[in-house]
Amino acid sequence: MRDNLIRSGEGAKCSRASPEEPNCRAWIEVPAARSARDRFWHMAQAEFRTGPELMELWTRVRVEVVVAGAVLVLFDPLVGYPDLAAAFVLAGASRAERLYVITAWNPAAKEREARFNRLDQARMLLRLSRRGVGFFPSRGSAEGWAEPGTAFFSASDELAASLAERFVQLGYYSFSPSQGVCVDATGGFAEAPLRPIGPLRPAQAPPGGGEF
């Protein structure tokens, strides 16, 4: 039962992590549709094994972040970027910074037990804390599938790339105040623009249980 629940942060900006609360103080648990989760993981593990193919899948994910207590939609494949500019304003980010969204869950796009995912997520947040980087709860979701993640501001891709390598993540998101890209961390760091493309067809539903 617990593995069928996806955790999503809800609260103010976080500056430290603990294994008991991997992303922020306040959490809600959202039931996930098992059939949709299974479809998503089938696509990620079987048909979308390469970086570019996975990036195509990840560009169809809704990306949310919690800043100053507000749940903001950075990107939605149906409507674009409804709250992206507001996220930069509420966080007080400088013009030189970009907003990065990454997770430690399910390394190499392979589903694993939630307890191991939460432990690695806590380790990621501790790395950010030790570097003095503030972070925010985030979530990626698509048709019954969802994964928690972490968002932070930085003036370069270096930190996000190093976290992707350390936690065996195939990609991450990078946002300016007006648009975003999915970055392929498997080699070359190619970027796939996030554009509104309409709903996923049933056959392309993302694997269940995933997160960014």
**Residues 195-211 pLDDT 10s:** 998 654 443 433 444 44
Q: Where are the domains of the chain?
A: 2-14+23-204
Buried b (16+ CB within 10 A) or exposed e, 136-171: bbbbbbbbbbbbbbbbbbbeebebbbebbeebebbb
pLDDT of residue 8: 32
Is the pLDDT confidence value at 38 over 70? no
Q: What is the mean pLDDT of residues 110-119?
A: 93
Express each pLDDT in 152-166 by its tens digit.
999 999 999 999 999
pLDDT of residue 144: 77
Maximum separation of any 2 CA atoms in the chain, in Å = 44
Q: Which amino acid is at 153?
A: F
Angle among Cα 48, 40, 195 to the nearest 5 degrees reads 70
Strand pairing report for 70-75 and 145-154: unpaired
Instruction: Supply φ then ψ for residue 50, to 5 degrees.
Output: -80, 160
